[in-house]
Amino acid sequence: MKKVLVIAGSDTSGGAGIQADLKTYQEIGVYGMTALTTIVAQNPNNQWAHDVYPIDRETVQAQITTILDGVGVDIMKTGMLPTTEIIELAANTLDKYQLDAVVDPVLACKGQDEPLYPENAKALRELLVPKALITTPNLFEAGQLAQMSNITTVDEMKEAAQKIYDLGAKHVIVKGGSEVEGDQAVDVFYDGDQFELFEHDMIDTPFTHGAGCTFASAVTASIVKGHSPREAVQSAKQFITKAIEQSWQLNEYVGPVNQFANRK
């Protein structure tokens, strides 16, 4: 059994964060273990606003020690990291245990007006993204990492991918999704050599909660099963497309993607 350590936050509503990660690993057939970094609670009395409750460094370190000294893993994946301190801890862990990592540079939750952790872009850019085997920013995160404002075209996505690659990440997939100009959803993959566009028809649904976490986890699971980062992106694309096609409405505010849709 291949094993993954995911260092990420808990989405109390179950659609994103470590909940999405573990569901994805279960569907693809790898074993996930978690170091929880923060708890996101949604406020039903305030338009489902996301409130964050970060976990202290010592507690995050204790979880990492459990997994890496007590078991060992084949790869690491990072999601929501609440402070510079925790970003640094994740980066140091990669060095200490010589692990490959999929870095999902989470800075915001979909549907929220304000990025949760905008001040973390610098630490991600300087400390963690340079060590990534692959990083999976959406347009907003790509803009923050590449220090570009307002990415809206495929050419700008390519420019951002190049800049993020230049930080040190070995592969970059910039997810355009539905926010790029044109009627196709386009993602840009870059491996330092060639750009490759992954295009698909837009899926018309507001229920995409957890799509980013699910995609990055599908990439992680696929890599650990022996695929190249490029192949992993391709298969994760298929996985997330099905999960979005069969997403559903959880309450009046949110609808999660459906990892179970990939079960034959």
**Contact residues: ligand PXL, CB under 6 A:** 8-11, 16-17, 40, 50, 79-80, 106, 109-110, 212-213
CB of 105 to ligand PXL, least distance (A): 11
CB of 60 to ligand PXL, least distance (A): 14
In the complex with ligand PXL, the residue whose CB is nearer, 80 or 154, is 80
CB of 129 to ligand PXL, least distance (A): 17
In the complex with ligand PXL, the residue whose CB is nearer, 154 or 241, is 241
Q: Which residue's Cβ has the minimum distance to ligand PXL? A: 17
CB of 214 to ligand PXL, least distance (A): 9
In the complex with ligand PXL, the residue whose CB is nearer, 12 or 61, is 12
In the complex with ligand PXL, the residue whose CB is nearer, 17 or 32, is 17
CB of 115 to ligand PXL, least distance (A): 11
Q: What one-character-per-residue DSSP string does the chain give? A: --EEEEEEEEETTSSSHHHHHHHHHHHHT-EEEEEEEEEEEEETTTTTEEEEEEPPHHHHHHHHHHHHHHT--SEEEE----SHHHHHHHHHHHHHHT--EEE------TT-SS-S-GGGHHHIIIIIGGG-SEE--BHHHHHHHHT-S---SHHHHHHHHHHHHHHT-S-EEEE-GGGSSSSEEEEEEE-SS-EEEEEEEPP--S--BTHHHHHHHHHHHHHHTT--HHHHHHHHHHHHHHHHHT----SSS--B--GGGG--
In the complex with ligand PXL, the residue whose CB is nearer, 4 or 40, is 40
CB of 215 to ligand PXL, least distance (A): 10
In the complex with ligand PXL, the residue whose CB is nearer, 4 or 154, is 4
